A and B are shown apart, each in its own frame.
Chain A
Amino acid sequence: MKNSIKSTLVLICVCAFITAALAVTNSITAPIIAKNEEAAANDALLQVLPDGKNFEKLDITTYSLPATVTEAYKAESGGYVLKLETSGYAAGLVIMCGVDAEGKVAGTVILSSGETPSIGGVAADTLAGALVGKDAAGIDGVDTISGATKTTGAYRAAVKDALNAAIILGGGDVDIRTEEEILNDNLSASLPAADGKFTKLFITEVITGIDAIYKADNGKGAVCVVGEQFIALDENYNVITEVDAELASTVKEQAEKALTSTAEDIDLGKYTGLPSALLSAKLTASGNYVLEMRASGYGINGNHYIASGEYIKIRVSMTADGKIIDCLTISQAESKGYGDACADEKFYGQFDGKTQENYGTIDAINGATLTTNGYKTAILRAFESVIILKGGAE
């Protein structure tokens, strides 16, 4: 018993002594280690901003910087270094970007990228060199690296964010909103009652003089886009934005037509010869057709093994004489960064106003020929469907 107490005591003493020795050593070496690490981090900063001196880390939460910025350093000698991480489309690119005192790119370095080393990786190195000395306007002029459109785009966007961030950190003001945010801000400004939540109306009537209509999600009216103007309507379709009387009456009349459009389901079983791509159809009171189509994307037309076998679903509205009023991609599971651009309004918006004669002239999706072709075929089937539906039930 006495022995084991002694043993335990000795062990505890040894442990205590060693722990104390460690604590003392740590208190001596810890500041040196921290200083070394700071110096190493400083070297990385100097790589992208070679003229910088005395870097100071900034608290980015106190500024409203682009969301991609994860770290920011200010050089006493002028200029900033920003660490950025892209998200969403082309996520996973992490770069450091130095911005000199004149707001031009001083240097960039890639910390990590999810790129194929042979294509995107090379692009990154080439781009890093090409971007040096450019300002925001100059960045767009940098050539896209062939085969690496996505990387080029992401890199350019990130560097632009860095330049914008540098302006903001310098006390300047810059619009860092995305296109969607700008649109939503404009809509909210013209119709505050909507609480900032809008949905684009799928138009099923032929309307003139209005480019697009956004309905308030809470039902408190809608906003019509006419050129650069945002014109708000209340629940009873009265124009509440101040515009001249003539425009107000056109907008009221056209918007009311679009917003009050009703449609009835067509029983497809009563028709023969309808294409299998037609999923459902409706006929509006005014005699327009609203069709839901399925399109074979990359997974069905192309490679089953690397893309999903899901169809792209499209909604298209058309007049009885075969002119597209509106077109919308409802769902898709195309390859990320390629075919998924078919869900972009910039793509499907091209079909508005097209007929069977000229629908083929739309621009294909870059790098997704199969998806584009599948989509076009589905639109052709829609034209054919309308001709059959118009012919009447058997």
Chain B
Amino acid sequence: METFKTLIVILLSSVFVNNYVLARFLGICPFLGVSKKIDQATGMGVSVTVVMLLATAVTWPIQHFLLDPFGLGYMQTLVFILVIASLVQMVEILLKRFSPALHKGLGVYLPLITTNCAVLGVSINNITDGYNFVESVVSSLGCGLGFLLAMVLFSGIRSRIDESKVPVPFRGLAVTLIAASFISLSFMGFAGIVDALFA
């Protein structure tokens, strides 16, 4: 029961309170770049969630059964980024081979994920936070869903921005960032909520 509660707390806080994009600033590039249309935003969000889950499932055992026992903790960044890069490649190849339809939908987002700092960030954070395997997987699921949520919400707002008159210097990224700032502001309202729910 206690473990289940912990897992729920981890999940909810990584979706809302510590949302990777809006509170921790990881994965901002795709957040700004690929959120122009809702279908793109969803595709990117789903792909990131899948890769995050896979990456955590692979990097956690690597850290605890390979790097730590041999005192190779300093290889963490190098090994993790290679794992993520090859994972992304593998997922792409598998999708192409077995599910061309899905590949058509998600394939274009996959290469962008290698350099998405949210994926590497989640893998490293799960280790530094001292989560066990199940907690790590749940945490990365939460981060992925949080990313998806932020992307979808933001794509809705961006479609409005595109249709409105914006002063010239603010056109493009400036107004996008300011809009993102307001979403982030609204997410600050979640702070403390998860703890209070289970107090």
Contacts and interface: CB of A to CB of B under 8 A. Distances in A.
Interface of A: 18-19, 22, 25-26, 30
A18 B78 contact: yes
Given A19-B78, A22-B78, 7 more contacts: A18-B78, A19-B75, A22-B74, A22-B75, A25-B74, A26-B74, A30-B74
Size category, B interface: under 10
Contacts of A30: 74
Contacts of A25: 74
Interface in B169-199: none
A372 to B, nearest CB: 27
Contacts of A26: 74
Interface of B: 74-75, 78
Q: For the complex of A and B, list the 5 residue pairs with the smallest distance between their C-beta atoms, beginning with the closest.
A: A26-B74, A22-B74, A22-B75, A18-B78, A22-B78
Contacts of B75: 19, 22
A308 to B, nearest CB: 14
Nearest to A116: B199
A26 to B, nearest CB: 5
A22 B78 CA distance: 10
B2 to A, nearest CB: 13
B75 to A, nearest CB: 6
A121 to B, nearest CB: 14
A32 to B, nearest CB: 13
9 contacts: A18-B78, A19-B75, A19-B78, A22-B74, A22-B75, A22-B78, A25-B74, A26-B74, A30-B74
A129 to B, nearest CB: 28
A26 B75 CA distance: 10
Contacts of A19: 75, 78
Nearest to A18: B78
A30 B74 CA distance: 10
Nearest to A33: B74
A94 to B, nearest CB: 16
A18 B78 CA distance: 9
A25 B75 CA distance: 11
A180 B7 CA distance: 38
A19 B74 CA distance: 10
Contacts of B74: 22, 25-26, 30
A323 B192 CA distance: 55
A168 to B, nearest CB: 32
A314 B75 CA distance: 62
A19 B75 CA distance: 8
A225 B74 CA distance: 64
Contacts of A22: 74-75, 78
